[in-house]
Structure formats: C-alpha cells, structure tokens
Amino acid sequence: MHIDLRQLRHFVALAEHRSFVAAAAAVNLSQSAFSRSIQSLEHSAGFQLVDRGSKDLPPTQQGLVLLEHARRLLRQAQELDNEIGRLNGAESGALRFGCGPAPAAQLVPQAVAGFIADYPRAQVNFQVDNWQELNARLIAGEIEFFVADTRRFEADPDYRVVRLQPQRWTFCCREDHPLAQTGAPTCRELFAFPLATTFRPPNIRKVLVDYSGRRDFQPAVECEHSYALLNVVLHSDAIGIGSALNLEPYILRGNLRLLTPRDLPEHLEELHTRYGIVSRNGRTLSPLAQAMIARIEHTDRALTERLSGLPSTGFDA
DNA sequence: CAAGCCAAGCCAAGCACGGT
DNA sequence: ACCGTGCTTGGCTTGGCTTG
C-alpha cells in the first residue's frame, strides 16, 4: 500500500469533523476533491474507512485501526520536520499553534507582531478556538502548542505547561455610563445594570451569584470574544468584565472606565487569569515554536509591567 | 525544451435522505 | 411533494514530472 501523508491528514480531519463538508473546509479543499482523496485512500487500503450509511460517518473497524496509525505517522512526520529544522537552525518554515479567545485579543497578536519582525521568512498560522478544540488539535499534531487557560493541564504528565503572568479580571463601563462618574459604586448599584462577560474565569458564575445576592443570576450577554464583548459595553449600559490586559487599550484611550465596587471582598485569588502555554511532553518543539514561545513570554512580561501603571480595580489579590 | 502523462482540484449535475 | 443538505461522479483545467 502506498502511504500518502496528505490523504492520512484528510482522513484524520474527516474522523474529527464527522462530515465531508466540514473536514474539506478544515483542510482547505473543495468537498468533491476531499471526497476523492478519501476514496483514493480507501482504494489504496482496500477497505471502507467510514460508514457512509450512518449520519455521523463513524470510522469502520478497519478505519479505526488506520486512524490510529495515521495519527501516529502524522505526529512522527511533524516531529521529524521539527528535528530537521532544529538541526538546520531553521528560521523559515511554517509554525502552527493555537490560542484561546482572550489571549487572542492582545497578548498573542502583539507577540506575533514581534515574532514576524525577527523571523520574516516564517509562515505563522494561529487558530483561535476553545480549549477542547485546541487540545484535540494538539493531540492530533496539527498544532505545536496553544495559549489558553492551563488549569486542566497543569497536573497532567502528558502536558508541558509554561504559566504566564496572572491578570486581574475587572469591571468596566463606557465613559459616559451613569456609573462612570461615581467610580466606586456598590455591588447593588453595579448589578442593577446588565452584565456582559466572557465565560472565564471558570467560577465566574459562582462569584457573580455571591456579588449580586441573586441565586438565579445570569449575565445579560455572554461572549467568548473579548473584542466583540467590549464593543457591546462601548455601545450600551452593560457592565463588562474583562482581563486587565484586554481592557488596557480602551482605558488608555478613555473609551472605558474601570469600576471598583466599594463593598467587594478584598481577596479574590480566583478572579485572576490562569493562562499559559501548553504543549505535549515528549514531543520536540520546532525552533520556530521555541522562538514563538519565548516571544510570547517576553511580550507577556512587558505588557504586565506596562499594566502596573493602570489604576487599581479592587480585584487585586 | 517540448510533448505527453498523471494526479489533484474545481464546477456542475445527480442521487439519497431527512424534514416540513 | 417539495426543499435543503450532504456525498458522489463526470468532465474539465492546471501544474508537476518524465521522456525523448
């Protein structure tokens, strides 16, 4: 049997997306070309890879065996590529990594901006997604690392975690908001307005229930994307919650005001971000990935230092 | 270097199937 | 019955590789 890594990559995509349309889009192919690629692999293998009779296209028994080998081969191919790059001291080539929505707002773009100045011949591809998707891509070897909340990976020996600086989560409102003049409202005054929040920190719901005094408290707006969320805050009476790092540009421009409820509990460790860089233990990182990680850490430190000039929000531990 | 071959990919049409 | 969605297939183009 002729082994074609491209076709194996397509099969892995199909197994993950359980749809020819979605998988084709994921590998940047037309659906028909993708279908032919799978057919060609099936022809080479001599058996059907997926059960087309079922709606969610489950892999056949033989398909599962091939899938396992395909994932291993793709991972090893990536590692070989990384190793060759390392031996050559490569400064060019493709770098693929991922990041969560919050790091995608400020930290990662600024780090990438610095990186492409240092490595103009590198091709950078970073995907913004939730941690589950990022983890799946990391395991499949499609990305070398991701930047996201690290809580689920810190104790797992299969993962290598580099923690970034914790950033405080803060309340904010638009500059001409009724509460903007008071600066330090009470929690009751604050929660009289609709709340717009990301899904993080993970325990934000519990904290909001405590603050609002309402067991059934629900934010008016939930959105993973910090940029979109802040635009809601900028154009409404909503009170936003965001990491200090992502709010900073808006605060400095005077578009947003930080709010410090005067009756907040003093010590709230959990209202800090817990972001970091997650990679797989035992896998060699390419020189470009190592350089990118160093750049993200450097940018993180620089931004955190700059943030120390911002006014306190009452969320400081 | 031109001609031929072939794999990969696209578009459009057709088919199957589920939902209304 | 009709419509929308998802997959396959036929016909075609394109680009890379081989051969003379």
**Mean residue pLDDT across chain A:** 81
Predicted confidence (pLDDT) per residue in A202-236, tens digit: 556 666 776 666 666 777 887 777 778 888 999 99
Task: Specify the pLDDT at position A269.
Answer: 44
Task: Give the C-alpha distances (Å, rounded to integers) separating A307 from A169, A223, A230, A268, A271.
Answer: 13, 24, 18, 19, 16
Rounded Cα–Cα distance for residues A167 and A97 (Å) = 22
Residue A134: pLDDT band (50, 70, 90) is confident
Task: Specify the pLDDT at position A314.
Answer: 39
Q: Between A155 and A56, whose confidence is greater?
A: A155
Judgement on whether residues A124 and A212 belong to the same structural domain of the protein: no
What is the average per-residue pLDDT within A4-19?
84
**Phi, psi at residue A49, to the nearest 5°?**
-90, -35
The amino acid sitting at A181 is Q
Domain end, chosen from A25, A56, A88, is at A88
Judgement on whether residues A139 and A192 belong to the same structural domain of the protein: no
CATH code assigned at A143: 3.40.190.10
Judgement on whether residues A107 and A244 belong to the same structural domain of the protein: no
DSSP letters of A224-272? Answer: S-HHHHHHHHHTSSPEEEEEHHHHHHHHHHTSEEEE--TTS-S--GGGB
Which tokens in the block code for residue A231? 């635009």
Residue A114: pLDDT band (50, 70, 90) is very high
Task: Specify the pLDDT at position A5.
Answer: 83
Judgement on whether residues A122 and A147 belong to the same structural domain of the protein: yes
Note down the domain range covering A236: 169-268
Residue A128: pLDDT band (50, 70, 90) is confident
Task: Specify the pLDDT at position A183.
Answer: 66
Q: Between A257 and A198, whose confidence is greater?
A: A257
Judgement on whether residues A300 and A229 belong to the same structural domain of the protein: no
What is the average per-residue pLDDT within A87-103?
80
Is strand C less than 7 A from the beta carbon of A20? yes
CATH code assigned at A33: 1.10.10.10
Query: Strand C: which bases are under 7 Å from protein Cβ?
Result: 6-10
Residue A317: pLDDT band (50, 70, 90) is very low
What is the average per-residue pLDDT within A141-149?
88
Return chain A residues 213..272 having CB < 7 Å to nucleic acid strand B: none
Rounded Cα–Cα distance for residues A262 and A271 (Å) = 16
Judgement on whether residues A158 and A281 belong to the same structural domain of the protein: yes
Judgement on whether residues A156 and A291 belong to the same structural domain of the protein: yes
Predicted confidence (pLDDT) per residue in A63-94, tens digit: 889 888 888 888 787 777 777 777 776 676 77
Query: What percent of chain A lies above the pLDDT cut of 70?
Result: 86
In angstroms, how far is B12 C1' from A26 CA? 22
Rounded Cα–Cα distance for residues A114 and A300 (Å) = 12
Judgement on whether residues A82 and A15 belong to the same structural domain of the protein: yes
Q: Which of A50-54, A61-65, A114-118 has the lowest mean pLDDT?
A: A50-54
Task: Specify the pLDDT at position A58.
Answer: 83
**Count of domains observed in chain A:** 3
Judgement on whether residues A204 and A162 belong to the same structural domain of the protein: no
Judgement on whether residues A161 and A279 belong to the same structural domain of the protein: yes
Query: Cβ distance A177 to A257 under 8 Å?
Result: yes
Point out the nucleotide closest to A10 (alpha carbon to C1′).
B8
Query: Strand B: which bases are under 7 Å from protein Cβ?
Result: 8-13, 18
Domain end, chosen from A67, A88, A109, is at A88
Q: Between A295 and A73, whose confidence is greater?
A: A295
Task: Specify the pLDDT at position A316.
Answer: 38
Q: Between A8 and A4, whose confidence is greater?
A: A8
Judgement on whether residues A190 and A246 belong to the same structural domain of the protein: yes
Judgement on whether residues A120 and A51 belong to the same structural domain of the protein: no
Is strand C less than 7 A from the beta carbon of A21? yes
Predicted confidence (pLDDT) per residue in A154-206, tens digit: 888 889 999 999 887 788 899 889 888 776 788 778 888 888 887 655 556 66
Q: Is this structure's pTM higher than 0.75?
A: no
Query: Cβ distance A264 to A247 under 8 Å?
Result: no
